């Protein structure tokens, strides 16, 4: 029951405002679009797309921001800037959950990716689910079977999994999220066999043993800031960064392989599927009608 025209009368400048804030943040931070897209994903997988992710710790809230998968998420300051600008233009109208959906869309478009009709009308939660964030969000170290199950738990299928993983066409990951592949993979004493040797050498240089786990690497080394389909040709070349990326192509017999090949060969097919799957993800159990509230500060429940 979400609707792309939801704010047409109540906040006609919505898109202009969101676009302007993100565009201006990009001038000093090429990574910000990727970070904002990731926030929408981290939100939607826990209690649906309800901005539960954005609530800070308080006497009644155990923040999802402090859950393992979320501790290094970034872009919250830009979400706050969008919110305060919108509160000036159309007070009390636009939900924080919809801001995350809109920011994800604008970020993809500004990086050269597809556009789609963003469905709107979500409302904001009054609770957070830190334990849920620790268990429901896929980890880069778990196998394809587990990750597929976590997508399925929120109503997303294998096509959605491969298409949405294509978000790793831009942005960065810290060494600690993939260094398990570089030296002693799963106790073998050898690196992950599905890592191309030249790429392995480059990653070992960037993330040496005993180096800092927080050093950043590009998720797509061929075009780190562009939203394109190189992510999928990287997988074909054994140049996926995360274990969970490479498994989409390297798991024997997996249904994901044919989808990776299709997206690698056909950018339009990837863009179309990505748009469809973003809509699917954005539809995960939204609060609508009189459920939840429109927060006036994305970090706090109203009246607290």
- Show binding-site residues for Ca(2+): 43, 46, 48, 50, 52, 64, 169, 220, 228
Residue (75 or 292) nearer to ligand HEM, CB: 75
d(CA 220, CA 295): 36
Q: What is the DSSP letter of 177?
A: G
Query: For residues 220 and 239, what is the distance between their CA atoms, to the nearest angstrom?
Result: 9
Yes or no: say if 181 and 243 are a contact pair by the CB < 8 Å rule: yes
244 binds, among Ca ion, ligand HEM, none (CB under 5 to 8 A by kind): ligand HEM
Provide φ and ψ at 253, rounded to 5°.
Answer: 80, 0
Pick one of 43, 98, 220, 247: the residue that binds Ca ion (CB under 5 A). Answer: 43
Query: Which of the residues 169 through 228 are near ligand HEM (CB under 6 A)?
Result: 171-174, 177, 219
Q: Which stretch binds ligand HEM (CB under 6 A): 32-40, 76-84, 113-121, 225-233?
A: 32-40
In the set 48, 113, 114, 140, which binds ligand HEM (CB under 6 A)? 140
Contact (CB, 8 A) for 79 and 124: no
- Cβ proximity to ligand HEM: between 180 and 237 the closer is 180
User: How far apart are CB 115 and Ca ion at their closest, in Å?
Assistant: 24
Look up residue 290 and give its two tokens.
């009189």
Cβ atoms of 199 and 221 closer than 8 Å:
yes
Can you tell me which of 6, 38, 47, 99 binds Ca ion, judged by CB under 5 A?
A: 47
CA distance 85 to 49: 21
Q: Which residues, numbered 106-125, are part of the site for ligand HEM (CB under 6 A)?
A: none
How is 179-236 classified by DSSP, letter by letter?
Answer: GGGTSSGGGSSS--TTS-HHHHHHHHHHS-TTS-TT-EEESSTTSTT--SSHHHHHHH
- To ligand HEM, the closest distance from the beta carbon of 53 in angstroms equals 13
138 binds, among Ca ion, ligand HEM, none (CB under 5 to 8 A by kind): ligand HEM
283 forms part of the interface with ligand HEM (CB under 6 A): no
Does 37 participate in binding ligand HEM (rule CB under 6 A)?
Answer: yes
Residues 50, 44: Cα–Cα separation, whole Å: 7
Strand locations in the chain (E): 172-174, 216-218
Binding residue (CB under 6 A) for ligand HEM from 48, 121, 138, 292: 138
Q: Which does 74 bind (CB under 5 to 8 A by kind): ligand HEM, Ca ion, none?
A: ligand HEM
Sequence-separated (6 or more) residues with CB below 8 Å from residue 241: 168, 173, 178, 203, 217, 218, 219, 220, 221
Among 52, 106, 165, 250, indicate the residue that binds ligand HEM (CB under 6 A). Answer: 165
Nearer to ligand HEM, 11 or 241 (CB): 241
38 or 299: CB nearest ligand HEM: 38
Residue 270 engages ligand HEM in binding (rule: CB under 6 A): no
Residue with tokens 């910000």: 32
Q: What is the DSSP string of 233-276?
A: HHHHTT--SSHHHHHHHHSTT-THHHHHHHHHH-HHHHHHHHHH
Binding site for ligand HEM (CB under 6 A): 31, 34-35, 37-38, 41, 72, 74, 138-140, 147, 164-165, 167-168, 171-174, 177, 219, 242, 244
């Amino acid at each position: 029951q979400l609707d792309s025209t939801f704010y047409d009368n109540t906040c006609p400048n919505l898109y202009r405002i969101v676009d302007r804030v993100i565009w201006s943040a990009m001038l000093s931070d090429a990574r910000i679009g990727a970070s904002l897209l990731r926030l929408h994903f981290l939100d939607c997988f826990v209690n649906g797309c309800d901005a539960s992710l954005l609530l800070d710790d308080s006497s009644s809230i155990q923040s999802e921001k402090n859950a393992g998968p979320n501790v290094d998420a970034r872009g919250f300051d830009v979400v706050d800037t969008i919110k305060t600008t919108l509160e000036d233009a159309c007070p009390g109208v636009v939900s924080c959950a919809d801001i995350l959906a809109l920011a994800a869309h604008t970020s993809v478009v500004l990086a050269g990716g597809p556009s789609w009709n963003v469905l709107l009308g979500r409302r904001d939660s009054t609770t957070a689910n830190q334990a849920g964030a620790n268990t429901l969000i896929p980890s880069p170290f778990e196998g394809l079977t587990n990750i597929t199950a976590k997508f399925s738990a929120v109503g997303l299928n294998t096509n959605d999994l491969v298409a949405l993983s294509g978000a790793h066409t831009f942005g960065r990951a810290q060494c600690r999220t993939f260094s398990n592949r570089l030296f002693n993979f799963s106790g073998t004493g050898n690196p992950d066999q599905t890592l191309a040797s030249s790429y392995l050498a480059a990653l070992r240089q960037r993330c040496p043993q005993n180096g800092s786990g927080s050093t950043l690497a590009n998720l797509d080394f061929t075009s780190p800031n562009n939203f394109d389909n190189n992510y999928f040709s990287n997988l074909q070349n054994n140049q996926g960064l995360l274990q969970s990326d490479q498994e989409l192509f390297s798991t024997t017999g997996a249904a994901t392989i044919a989808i990776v090949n299709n997206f690698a060969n056909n950018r339009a097919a990837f863009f179309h599927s990505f748009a469809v799957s973003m809509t699917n993800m954005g539809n995960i159990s939204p609060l609508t009608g009189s459920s939840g509230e429109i927060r006036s500060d994305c970090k706090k429940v109203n009246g607290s």
